Amino acid sequence: MVTNTLRRRAAATALALFCAGFLSTCDFLTSDIFPSWFSYVEARYDLRTEAMKLSSSFSVFDDYSVEYLQPLTGRGVVAIFLPGSPEKRLLLLDSTSLKWIATPPDNSEYSPLLAVPANGGEIVCGKVSIKTSDFSAVSGPTTGLTGNRQWIVRTGPSSDQYLIGFDNPTNKLHRYKYNSDWIFVGPIGPPPGTSGTTWSAPFPVVSWSLLDAETSSSGSGAYFLFRNTTATEIGYLSFFSVSSDIEADPRDFLNAADQVTGPFRVDDGRAWITYDGPVAYHRGDKGPDRLVRYKLGSGSASASVPATELDSIPLDNDELRVLSFDPSGTWWFAYDRRTGYLYKLRTWWR
Amino acid sequence: MKPSRPPTLASMLLFSAAFLSIAEVGAQETPANTELQPLVAVVPVWTTQDAEPFAAPLASALLRELAAAGFKTEARSGAQNDTESDSALAAALSSGAKARWAAVARCEMDGRRLVWRASVYDALDGALIASDSQGAFPGLSALPLLERSAASVAREAWGQRGRVIPGEPLEYRLRFRSRNEGATVAFGTGEGGREAGIIEGGELLAPFTAFRAGEPVVVTVRQEGYWPRTSLFRPGTEDKVLELPRLMPRASRMVSLGISTTRLLGAQAEYRHFLSDDAVFLRAADSLWLQYTFTPGSVPVLHNEVHLGAGAYLFLPRDSRFRMAVTTGFSGIVTLAFPGDLADKVYFDATFDAFSLSLEWHTPGTWMFFLEQRYPYSLGLDSGLLSRGWVQNDGPPMILTAGVMRRW
């Protein structure tokens, strides 16, 4: 009798242990000891090793500027800006296989501005415009460059384009207008450029910064991804169907926008624009960190009605640093700080 | 056993007076067993007036020693009695006091010599369960001897406090039923066991043995390839077939098939080779699984883990149903990725299982069940995908594997 009781208790204990272990895993069906993002990998590049070949000073970075750039004509590239001192290098990889294709000569005018200009067959890195056919350098933007992260918004093929920057202390979004040949044609107001920016209710009026800016999928509109830190860290995505609408000085980039998405949670200032909805990084309090995509146009100005979450994936590896998203929503790029590899990954909704 | 204090002569004499002031013992019917209280009734008895001064001290010593041993006690009045036996007195005493036990402190003179006997009887069946008899010169020098007798009897009686009434002799031959055809059945254990026969046709009719109803019968079953098993039966007066539990097979090899919490799109197979049957083993396991997140952009990644290690069962007997094994070992994990543009398609990780715990439910049949917890530590090889440290997933840093085992 005592033996039977012990047996029953032992079996119950084993069952309880099993259930506890089983239920303690939230996504137990897809949980794996290997990083879940690895199933999205399309290609990778040994960035740390290659960067060290250029200069040992590049090896200390883990926050490289990486952009998927598809010029209006010609081959696409993945551009990597290596912000060494004094060396500043640009690595160009094949956009499909991430194989090295070119390392344009060192140029002190390189900056974290990596963009596709209005001229076909070119990409821009800082003040340098590079032809993707032979990777020769030609003149790029000359006015408004800060050396910090900046963006380009186009109005159409071979049409005017805007160099976009943001001044955090004054909460102003700078717009420097160029024609397609990088001839500075703006600003409408006095130099250094159109910068009048207003913020008004129902949105917060202070503590703004710009996380990303992209030309829309039509090629003539513009997206701006703002971060606000008045209370908690939240993001808003504004959309102008006509890029030139941002010339107005001053301009309210939320109330005057054709569409606003947000607010949505943003952690560590990490969010990106895709045409399928903005993607934001969520730091996990108890579970893993996540990348969350939001529905375009969802939410309201009120923080109590946030944007709608469409989907998300866990980032179950602290060593992985998400660098950028291809605005078309096809690819994203991340750097594994442990191994030094740059990964090109498929998005989880396409 | 609590140490007894030496009594003083005054206290003994006072106690004697108390005894003498109480009414005489009378003969009564023995009450039903269920009415008996768990206490000892103590009575002094003397056969001649010369012995009377010593009967009360002996009874007093008995009361004290029995109480010190752990009994509840009750003093009863004594009397001169040279006709009734101690057992008859005890029966009457138990009946009157409804006491499970009765202690008789009898003193008498044998010429110029004092003779005493301290006895304890169990009213369940009237059995004498403790007794001590001595003689001495009738003086103060006899008192320590009386104390020693009382202490001895109290110790002996305490050792018999759990006894039960012996059952009636069995008038039939024990019959056993077993699913272990050909197993040898013996009464008793080890070399001293007496063979009862061999299971044939699932049954055995044992030779007649003088067992008593309700008394424990130890039966040992042995068979080649199985662990011997000893069982305890208490056959009653009714002739019933006794079911022998199935023997647990001895295992020198074992295979298993399981599925793991972090590898649900796959399976694990394992082989164990026992260095000592059902005790110490070497193990080799292979896990093959697909990593897939069930989202549009996800492409399955194939992982294969080869694990080599050793383990041992702990704590419980080798024929236990429930068993616990601890293991340790190393693993190599090969990962195969399929995207065409990915230059490096093969990766290799190595992990060390410092400690794994396997909870197993063994059955006498073919299949058994197990639940294993592993805590792998990744070595963080450059060729692999895992960082150095305890492997992580959405839940706790462990891998739970459940499955079935088969051994032979």
Please tell me the predicted confidence (pLDDT) of residue B173: 84
Give yes or no for A92 touching B (CB within 8 A). no
Predicted local confidence at residue A215, as pLDDT = 96
Q: Do B297 and A348 touch (CB under 8 A)?
A: yes
Tell me the range of A21-25, A266-270, B227-231 where mean pLDDT is highest: A266-270
- Please state, in angstroms and rounded to a whole number, the distance separating the CA atoms of residues A15 and A200: 59
Minimum mean pLDDT range among A134-143, B81-90, B109-118, B187-196: B187-196
User: Which of the four pLDDT bands, split at 50, 70 and 90, describes residue B396?
Assistant: low
- Which pTM was predicted? 0.70
Task: Tell me: pLDDT of B6 over 60.
Answer: no
Classify residue A4 by burial, with Cβ atoms within 10 Å: 0-12, 13-18, 19+.
Answer: exposed
| Nearest-by-CA chain B residue for A319 | B387
Spell out the SS3 assignment of chain B. CCCCCCCCHHHHHHHHHHHHCCCCCCCCCCCCHHHCEEEEEEEEEECCHHHHHHHHHHHHHHHHHHHHHCCEEEECCCEECCCCCHHHHHHHHHHHHCEEEEEEEEEEEECCEEEEEEEEEECCCCEEEEEEEEEECCCCCHHHHHHHHHHHHHHHHHHCCCCCCCCCECCCCCEEECCCCCCEEEECCHHHCEEEEECECCEEECCCCCCECCCCEEEEEECCCECCEEEEECCCCCCCEEECCCCCECCCEEEEEEEECCEEEEEEEEEEEEEECCCEEEEEEEEEEEECCCCCCCCCEEEEEEEEEEEEEECCCCCCCEEEEEEEEEEEEEEECCCCCCCCCEEEEEEEEEEEEEEEECCCCCEEEEEEEEEEEECCCCCCCCCCEECCCCCCCCEEEEEEEEEC
Q: Is the pLDDT reported for residue A92 higher than 50?
A: yes
Stretch B327-344: mean pLDDT, rounded? 88
Q: What is the pLDDT of residue A93?
A: 94
Contacts of B382 in chain A (CB under 8 A): 339
Domains parsed from chain B with CATH numbers: 9-159 (3.40.50), 175-243 (no CATH), 253-407 (2.40.160.20)
Measured torsion, CA atoms of residues A8, A11, A12, A15, in degrees rounded to the nearest 10: -160
For residue B316, the distance in angstroms to the closest alpha carbon of chain A comes to 12
Contacts of A41 in chain B (CB under 8 A): 337, 339, 342
Question: Is A44 touching B (CB cutoff 8 A)?
Answer: yes
B381 falls in which pLDDT band (50, 70, 90)?
confident
Chain B nearest C-alpha distance from A158 (Å): 33
Q: What is the mean pLDDT of chain B?
A: 84
Three-class SS state of B135: strand
DSSP state of A190: S
Q: Identify the closest residue of chain B to A22 by CA–CA distance.
A: B261
The closest of A214, A239, A333, A244 to A295, measured between CA atoms, is A239
- Which among B263, B291, B373 has CB closest to A21? B373
The percentage of chain A sitting over the pLDDT mark of 90, rounded to a whole number, equals 48
pLDDT of residue B335: 94
Q: Interface of chain B against chain A, CB under 8 Å?
A: 261-264, 291-301, 303, 321-322, 335, 337, 339, 341-344, 359, 361, 371, 373, 376, 380, 382, 385-387, 391-396, 398-400, 402
Top pLDDT among A20 and A277 is at: A277
Q: Which of A190-199, B14-23, B164-173, B194-203 has the highest mean pLDDT?
A: B194-203
Interchain pair B292, A99: CB under 8 A: no
Closest chain B C-alpha to A164 CA, distance in angstroms = 32
Cβ distance A39 to B300 less than 8 Å, yes or no, reads yes
CA angle A97, A99, A102 (to 5 degrees): 135
Pick from A14, A27, A311: CB nearest B394: A27
Count of C-beta atoms within a 10 Å radius of residue B32: 8
Asked if the C-beta of A9 comes within 8 angstroms of chain B's C-beta atoms, the answer is: no
Span A80-108, average pLDDT:
86
Residue bearing the bigger pLDDT, B70 or A35: B70
Taking only the tens place, the pLDDT of each residue in A251-266 is 999 999 999 998 999 9
Contact B294 A29 (CB under 8 A): yes
CA of A330 to nearest chain B CA: how many angstroms apart? 9
- The pLDDT value recorded for residue B327 is 92
% of residues, chain B, pLDDT over 70: 90
pLDDT for position A20? 61
A119-133, B181-195, B279-293: lowest mean pLDDT where?
B181-195
Mean pLDDT of A326-341: 91
Question: Is residue A168 within 8 Å of A209, Cβ to Cβ?
Answer: yes
For the stretch B154-163, pLDDT in tens is 999 999 888 8
Percent of chain A with pLDDT over 70: 87
> What is the total residue count of chain B?
408
Most B CBs within 10 A among A8, A39, A328, hence the mutation to make, goes to A39
Lowest mean pLDDT among A291-295, B168-172, B229-233: B168-172
pLDDT at A8: 61
Does the structure show a pLDDT above 90 at A333?
yes
Structure tokens belonging to residue B360: 């197993």
Pairs across A and B, CB distance < 8 A: 134
Q: Do B393 and A24 touch (CB under 8 A)?
A: no
Q: Which of B301, B344, B396 minimises the CB distance to A24?
A: B396
From A6, A10, A288, residue closest to B394, measured CB to CB: A288
The answer, yes or no, to whether residue A28 has pLDDT greater than 70, is no
Residue A59 has pLDDT above 50, yes or no: yes
pLDDT reported for residue A301: 76
Q: Which of A90-99, A100-109, A311-320, B7-16 has the lowest mean pLDDT?
A: B7-16
User: pLDDT at position B192, please?
Assistant: 76
The Cα–Cα gap between B220 and B187 comes to 6
- Residue A54 neighbours by CB under 8 Å, 6+ apart: A82, A84, A87, A89, A91, A103
In this prediction, residue A21 has a pLDDT band, given cuts at 50, 70 and 90, of: low
pLDDT at B141 over 80: yes
- What's the complex ipTM? 0.78
Q: How confident is the model at residue B10 (pLDDT cuts 50, 70, 90)?
A: very low
Q: What is the pLDDT of residue B388?
A: 84
CB contact under 8 A, B261 and A21: yes
Q: In what order do the strands lie in the sheet with A341-346?
A: A41-45, A341-346, A331-336, A320-325
| Residues B42-75 pLDDT 10s | 999 998 888 888 999 999 999 999 999 999 999 9
Hey, are the CB atoms on A25 and B395 less than 8 Å from each other?
yes
DSSP structural state of residue B96: H
Q: Is some CB atom of chain B closer than 8 A to the CB atom of A198?
A: no
Mean pLDDT of A282-287: 83
**pLDDT band at B110; cut points 50, 70, 90:** confident
Record: contact A338-B376, CB cut-off 8 A: no
Per the model's pLDDT, the better-predicted residue between A24 and A246 turns out to be A246
Buried-state track B177-216, b at ≥16 Cβ within 10 A, e below 16:
ebebeebbbbbeeeeebeebeebeeeebebeeeebbeeee
pLDDT given for residue B161 in this prediction: 86
| Cβ-defined contact of A348 to B386 (cutoff 8 Å) | no
